[in-house]
């Protein structure tokens, strides 16, 4: 557990210019506290202590303002910056090196069983207030703009903005423009 904690703190120091030191991050970053609490609840879920996992998860939510379902799958170095209001659903999958800002929802759009929450690749930034909904995939290296509502798959190296969000190639993207479905070819961010 301690190597993962050190890895998380190093990731915050690298990506957050306001982070002043490891002790400050360890003590005051509620987003990190939520991720650490999630790891414990995910372990409980894995040993089939479902009720206890949900109880502890709700306690962590009460303390941090971040709700992560114990069955969700989070990769390494996931950072929840500012924390408050983040919701990550039961079947969500979040890759490595993902930065999530406050008010983000990784939610479902169906009451049916099975996979109903999004999958995020590696090296993704999700802006404040964004909603990524349904059993969709956002490719690695993408950026989801603040307030975007993503309801369709997006290829790697996408810039997703708007409601509903439209995937555009990021500036310098190596992905073919034919992989994107947008109407204004003059827009490259």
Question: To 10 degrees, what angle do helices 50-64 and 30-46 make?
Answer: 180
Classify the C-alpha dihedral 14-20-21-26 as positive or negative: negative
Provide Rg for the chain, Cα atoms: 17
Structure token digits, residue 90: 């039961």
The pair of three-digit structure tokens given for residue 23, joined into one six-digit string = 């002790």
**Residues contacting residue 130 through CB under 8 Å, at least 6 positions apart:** 101, 103, 104, 105, 144, 145, 146, 147, 148, 149, 150
Confirm whether 69 is a catalytic residue: no
CA distance 105 to 102: 9
Residue 90 to residue 118: CA distance in whole angstroms: 10
What residues does 187 pair with on adjacent strands? none
Contacts of residue 116, defined as CB under 8 A and 6 or more positions apart, other chains included, come to 89, 90, 91, 108, 109, 110, 134, 135
Choose, from 33, 69, 102, 117, the residue flagged as catalytic.
102
**Residues identified as active-site:** 102
């Amino acid at each position: 557990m301690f190597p993962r904690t050190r890895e998380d703190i190093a990731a915050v120091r690298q990506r957050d210019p306001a982070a002043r030191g490891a002790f400050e991050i360890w003590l005051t970053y509620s987003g990190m506290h939520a991720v650490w609490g999630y790891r414990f609840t995910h372990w409980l879920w894995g040993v089939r202590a479902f009720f206890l996992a949900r109880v502890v998860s709700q306690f962590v939510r009460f303390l941090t303002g971040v709700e992560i379902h114990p069955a969700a799958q989070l990769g390494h170095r996931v950072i929840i910056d500012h924390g408050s209001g983040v919701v990550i659903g039961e079947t969500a999958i979040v890759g490595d090196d993902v930065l999530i800002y406050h008010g983000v929802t990784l939610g479902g759009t169906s009451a049916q069983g099975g996979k109903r929450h999004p999958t995020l690749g590696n090296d993704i930034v999700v802006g404040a207030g964004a909603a990524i909904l349904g059993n969709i995939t956002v490719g690695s290296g993408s950026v989801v703009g603040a307030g975007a509502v993503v309801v369709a798959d997006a290829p790697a190296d996408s810039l997703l903005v708007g409601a509903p969000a439209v995937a555009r190639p990021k500036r310098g993207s190596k992905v073919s423009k034919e992989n994107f479905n947008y109407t204004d070819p003059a827009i490259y961010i």
